[in-house]
Amino acid sequence: MSNLTALQQAMRIVEQYAPQLFDTYNANGRRFIDEMTKLLDVEREQIIDAHKQGQEFALVMNMPDSKEYYNETYKGGEQ
């Protein structure tokens, strides 16, 4: 199982208690998914930026590039 971000974990919990929010056949479901997608994009960029900042302080450590790190750690954001 891949690692999940806090937002991805929260979305799984919400889906358990309010599955209608994930129903793309109605307007509320589509809006919810659109908003969550935007937030997942923001979260991804924050993780990538934080990793880049960490690399600046740890150049001697053979760390993967930030986007590669995100994709490897979080499976490219799969839920």
pTM for the model stands at 0.67
Helices (H) then strands (E): counts for the chain: 3, 0
Q: Parse the chain into domains and list their residue ranges.
A: 6-71
Q: pLDDT by residue (tens digit) across 58-79?
A: 665 565 666 777 787 887 655 4
Q: How many residues does the chain have?
A: 79
Q: pLDDT by residue (tens digit) across 36-52?
A: 999 999 999 999 888 88
